[in-house]
Amino acid sequence: MAQKCVFLDRDGVINGDKVDYVYKIEDIRIMDGVKEALEKLKNQGFLLLVITNQSGIDRGIYTEEDVFLTHIEIQNRIGNTIDEFYFSPYHRTISASMGMKPGSLLFEKAMAKYDIDVSQSWMIGDRIRDLIPAEKLGLKTILVDSEYPDKVDFKGNFASDLLEATNQFILV
């Protein structure tokens, strides 16, 4: 049976983003309302999957092990509500990959593995590039507040954070 799902970007949606990457436990800062939003979504039967670019691996700044440890710590802080983390270790200037957003490969892998019902599923990101592959695949999208300039011309669903996105668009 097909499942409804919320795909989530990691940095800027679940935890605070940093210009020089979030890969150390001490740099993880869970955004306000995230735990509550994820619990609401789980209680409504949504599968929760993270799709994140982790290009610092390809650039030699941190390792896949650092990413795994970061994901474990995030799970501990949010009540283990994420069903699976998918990440792309590539950087566009070093190793081109369709797994790196705005490519859609990681979404497609998750959709095949979990038999995702696209008509009942969402992608929440803090950058337009997070939403591009989701829209191509027929997912509904929400851009959450971002410090980045690409939101200026955005005409789609917009929320200040994950909790507002959950309450305003998904659980209505």
d(CA 156, CA 169) in angstroms, rounded, equals 11
Q: List the catalytic residue out of 9, 17, 58, 66.
A: 9
Active-site residue flag, 9:
yes
Residue 107 three-state SS: helix
Report the C-alpha gap between 25 and 140 in whole angstroms: 32
Give the pair of three-digit tokens for residue 46.
Answer: 């949504």
| Catalytic residue list contains 150 | no
Q: How far apart are CA 79 and CA 17, in angstroms?
A: 20
- Please give the radius of gyration of the chain, using alpha carbons only, rounded to the nearest integer: 15
Find the catalytic residue in 11, 58, 66, 161.
11
Annotated catalytic sites, by residue?
9, 11
